[in-house]
Structure 1
Amino acid sequence: MNFAEKFKHTLFEVNDKTFADSSLAAFDYQYHSCHIFKSYCDYLHRTPKTVKNLSEIPFLPIDFFKNHAIKSGKWNENKIFQSSGTTSSRRSKHFVKDLDYYHLAAKKIFEDQFGPLSNYKIVAILPSYQSQGDSSLISMVDYFMEYSHPGSGYFLNEDIDQVMKDSNQKLVIGVSYALLDVADRSQKIENAIIMETGGMKGRRKEMTRTELHDSLQRGFGVDAIWSEYGMTELNSQGYGKHGFFKFPSWAKCLIRDINDPFSYQNTGKTGGINIIDLANIDTCCFIETKDLGRVTGDNFEVLGRFDNSDIRGCNLMI
């Protein structure tokens, strides 16, 4: 068993005390096994010999996933996820070595937060993702439905009125514009988690997450809206209410200074989001995103996008 496979077998055991050491071990492995990442690190003069703590690890700019097959080691992909993107932009590609591993991690993250999937009827309202294909979100939801309550499925806006009246515990997960379409019809719902994945897809005007959640709360008659933070380039997801996300123990959000990528902001300060996702051991665990955010305690917020960045389908823009 090679390093990556051993690493994956202990992934769920990572905690606050072991996170830094696990991250440095992953950096050492990926520096030597991912030629794109190594070239980038060498350009910055950052190597395993010189990097001694998390703040010194280079984070690969997310645009590299648009132009390169990011792999650590030599292997044939089991699946290629593509970002939703736009018709005028190049889509990111995430080469997945082991789709079962992706699903296993996603299921654990969800159930640690919300309990067994068998407790839920999943009502998925994700027309844009279904039509585009190769979506990591659709793959995750498909897998979740294998373990969820009978009657789970994908629904169009006009088909879900009866489902909303179902007395079973429900997970209603949808792209923002589609959820708003349903909420506008005053679809009051009981015994449900409403979860938005972001994205107006040009169907509605952009709005802040607070505005979106206020509209959805009024329309569905619920006390809170949940959000999912995920992206094509990550194997892990974050969940949270009121726009505050939390990652599993093996992933972490760091906030970099906008003007100095190797300087990190204190809690509560706004900057660029860097993500360590140790579940990405087969690709790259260290990703510099184009999202703006801030960390508060164990949670993080996504506040918008850098200027001139593509609007990513899985997040809102302020």
Structure 2
Amino acid sequence: MYNEKSSEIFEFDQKVNSFSFPEKIDSTIFSQSRNSLTEQIICNKNSLLPSMRIGDKKRLTYLPIEFFREPQKIDSLSNFNKENVFRSSGTSSDICSKSYFSKQGLLSYRHQALISFSSMLSEFFSFQHLSDISGFSLIPTVDNWKFSSLAKMIDWISQIYSVKFIDEKNISSNLSKVSEPIWIFGTAFHYVNLHEMGLRFSLPKGSVIIETGGTKGLQKCLERADLYQRIGETFGLDENHIVSEYGMCELACQAYDFSSTETLDKRFFRFPYWVTPFISRDSRVLKSKGTGSLIVYDPHRIDYKWPIKTEDVVCLQENGSFQIRGRLIKAPAKGCSLLAEKDKSYRNKKQLKQNISRSTTVNNLNQSILFSIKKVDYFIKTKFFDDTVRNIIAKELGSKQLMRLAIEDLLFSLPQKEDDWIKAIENSKVTAGDRWLLILPDSHPFVIYYPLILGFLGGANISVRLPQQFNQGSSVDIFIDRLSTLLSCKINKIDTSYRIKDKSDLSPFDYLLCYGSNDTINRFDMDFSDKLKGFGQVFSTSIIDATDTKTLELAVKDAFSLGQAGCFSSQAIFFLSPDQQDICEIYKILRNTYFSVFSDEQKNLFSLDSLNQEISRYKKLGARVFSESNLSLPLFPFVDFQNITGSFASFLSKHTFVLPFFYNVDYLQLVNLFERVEAFKLITATSSLLNHCQILNSNNFEYRILGCANRPVWDGFHQKTNLFCK
């Protein structure tokens, strides 16, 4: 299936054809190059369908996959005798796709589905003995999933291979009898349920698990690494014996992703060799590699002769392999979790068991820690932020409005229940008795609370080196004193002048936790790499799809609620707009929305010369800048995203209270930007966009609802890593 040489491919076809297919597929088309295939499909024009440019003059007609969700459109394109119809699961929408097949189209689908599956399986088992390998399917039969293309594919497979249909109730009795390597096919939903049921097996060495995605209906969306870990724990297999399958009812082909040597981040999906994938970044130009929405041309999808443009964003390699990056904005989620409704009662029972288990854990914890949690929770939420402290914080941040926003964000971030506090302490991986030195930045005072409180509650000995501006009499200084008094303990305050003298010895401390610039973290890492927990700079941005007052308020709040000094404060706004909006009106809303948060003292710190220099710099970059005779803050340079030339970093400002606003932004172009600029670590987005904004590897990225950039939940993690774990 993945061989490069045509002779090897045809030889493989002949072997698979020995399974007595009712129809032989013409192999001549398989040997055509991508260019010749492109020439062929250019001719398949249809007035109902859109087209995109390919090359200098030619245009390619394609079939948008959303047409399958619109009965009138897909019916008008289905000019053949309909033998069968498959439907999408519809787990995230009331509207299901309907994909029709003629008799010949269905035979062709069967033929290539079996070739693809057999080819994948032969990577793990000897081809001559494939029919001797026992297979198990967690996918129900076609009698139960009548309109499922996945169930139909398993039915075809069962016609030439030994396949037993099982479910969660009888899987244990079936797998307990297994002594030779097997394969199992199921959805991610099935495997997660098995893991959460506590089922554990030790499959014979060489066994293979095939998962076909789909976790909708679960309480959270799983990352693939997490899914693979759960599958591995359930069946006793390593990740290189777990295969992912990519397919959908609208297509008539599957792509498989597996490797016996590569790690997950280096694995790629591959379609059968006769399928030609393309990508498009803007529905205007077809490309053979890069990041964009996946377009699939399958010459044996004979009922619909056009390339099908999916709503999946992929990174396509020149050899046709690809990695899935996410979904296009406003595309419905997709997957194979057809048991979502059926399993609701089970999931409720499971949650009850988890609650009981958690209660037992709470009761077994040291009662003094539980008492400390209650006291700290009450102290922060009701006692600490009195008028004295509020006035000090307002002075430190620059205005009363910034103070109110910062306190509001902090209280929102706190664990809301005793259970949540306990889980946060556990997740932080803090070890009782460890001696930690906390080195804080001078950006804002709120950075202290999270590591100090979780570290102390976890039993660590905490010392804090205070920045100069948060020394004696600061809100940080007062907080440490009051917390020490409340809990009858001593939290050491280290003077700002303190320096670690011996680069090979941290004594009297065991570990160092540091927030700061990347240069600062790198310097410490050179000397204390095995003892350092360092958090450097990240780049955050807000993505919006509307310019009403409320949306713009939230976007500006993400930037300025900590005076743009928070490590997650947004440094740019991206406006996903198909065409240019009234920038003057947007500017007025932006300027008036949070104009009151800045004190006169802050405005004076940003001199007129500095302001004029920034205005001049942005105008040279082609930005549109509004300026007034008096000093006007904040400054919002408006940048047409389509006209960016040179380095993107040049459009960002090092000055506080300067927030570039990028308009005329195309979603897929934004994906490419995020791939190039590694510093992007956090996206905040409107609720309508959030489910579709997860476009990069989630191991490196965080997503929050618009307005919550500076509301990191106290869950024991920071920048997606355990707070204290070394």
Normalised by the size of structure 1, how large is the TM-score? 0.80
Do structure 1's residue 235 and structure 2's residue 255 form an aligned pair? no
Q: How far apart are the structure 1 equivalents of 2:28 and 2:331? A: 33
Residues 279 and 287, structure 2, Cα contact 8 Å, conserved in 1: yes
Q: How far apart are the structure 1 equivalents of 2:112 and 2:77? A: 19
Match in the other structure for 1:187: 201
Residues 197 and 228, structure 1, Cα contact 8 Å, conserved in 2: yes
* Paired positions, count: 293
Match in the other structure for 1:162: 173
Residues 70 and 283, structure 1, Cα contact 8 Å, conserved in 2: no
**Equivalent of residue 95 in structure 2, options 90, 96, 103:** 90
CA deviation after TM superposition for structure 1 residue 101, in Å: 2.0
Say which SS state the counterpart of residue 109 (structure 2) adopts: helix
Q: How far apart are the structure 2 equivalents of 1:113 and 1:54? A: 39
Match in the other structure for 1:279: 300
Moved more, 69-78 or 110-119: 69-78
Q: Over residues 182-239 of structure 1, what are the superposed CA-to-partner deviations in whole Å (9 max), with x where a residue is unaligned?
A: 2441222123210111111303421122221122123222122101111111111111
CA deviation after TM superposition for structure 1 residue 146, in Å: 1.1
Q: Over residues 83-130 of structure 1, what are the superposed CA-to-partner deviations in whole Å (9 max), with x where a residue is unaligned?
A: 111274311111111222211111111222323551432211125987
Residues 80 and 303, structure 2, Cα contact 8 Å, conserved in 1: no
Letter of the 1:58 partner, please give it: T
Residues 89 and 310, structure 1, Cα contact 8 Å, conserved in 2: no
CA deviation after TM superposition for structure 1 residue 19, in Å: 3.4
Q: How far apart are the structure 2 equivalents of 1:12 and 1:141? A: 28
Q: How far apart are the structure 2 equivalents of 1:219 and 1:54? A: 54
Give the structure with the larger helix fraction: 2
Match in the other structure for 2:215: 200
Distance 1:56 1:217, change over 3 A: farther
Tell me the percent identity.
25
Say which SS state the counterpart of residue 216 (structure 1) adopts: helix
Residues 275 and 287, structure 1, Cα contact 8 Å, conserved in 2: yes
Do structure 1's residue 291 and structure 2's residue 312 form an aligned pair? yes
* 1:1-318 paired onto structure 2 within 5 Å: 9-11=25-27, 13-15=29-31, 17-28=32-43, 30-31=44-45, 37-41=46-50, 44=51, 56-67=59-70, 68-69=73-74, 74-86=79-91, 88-98=93-103, 99-115=106-122, 117-127=130-140, 131-149=144-162, 152-165=163-176, 166-183=178-195, 184-190=198-204, 191-223=206-238, 224=240, 225-241=242-258, 242=264, 244-257=268-281, 260-264=282-286, 267=289, 269-296=290-317, 297-314=319-336
CA deviation after TM superposition for structure 1 residue 27, in Å: 4.2
Point out which structure has higher relative CO (alpha carbons under 8 A, 6+ apart).
1
Distance 1:11 1:39, change over 3 A: farther
User: Aligned Cα RMSD in Å?
Assistant: 3.1
CA deviation after TM superposition for structure 1 residue 314, in Å: 4.4
Distance 1:18 1:53, change over 3 A: farther
Say which SS state the counterpart of residue 158 (structure 1) adopts: coil
Q: How far apart are the structure 1 equivalents of 2:201 and 2:25? A: 44
Residues 69 and 97, structure 2, Cα contact 8 Å, conserved in 1: yes
Match in the other structure for 1:3: none
Letter of the 2:224 partner, please give it: R
Distance 1:78 1:27, change over 3 A: farther
CA deviation after TM superposition for structure 1 residue 26, in Å: 3.8
Residues 108 and 301, structure 2, Cα contact 8 Å, conserved in 1: no
Higher-Rg member (1/2): 2
Q: How far apart are the structure 1 equivalents of 2:142 and 2:216? A: 10
CA deviation after TM superposition for structure 1 residue 79, in Å: 0.6
Normalised by the size of structure 2, how large is the TM-score? 0.37
Residues 11 and 279, structure 1, Cα contact 8 Å, conserved in 2: no
CA deviation after TM superposition for structure 1 residue 71, in Å: 7.4
Say which SS state the counterpart of residue 131 (structure 2) adopts: helix
Say which SS state the counterpart of residue 275 (structure 1) adopts: strand
Q: Which runs of 5+ in 2 are unaligned?
A: 1-23, 259-263, 338-690, 695-726
Residues 84 and 132, structure 1, Cα contact 8 Å, conserved in 2: no
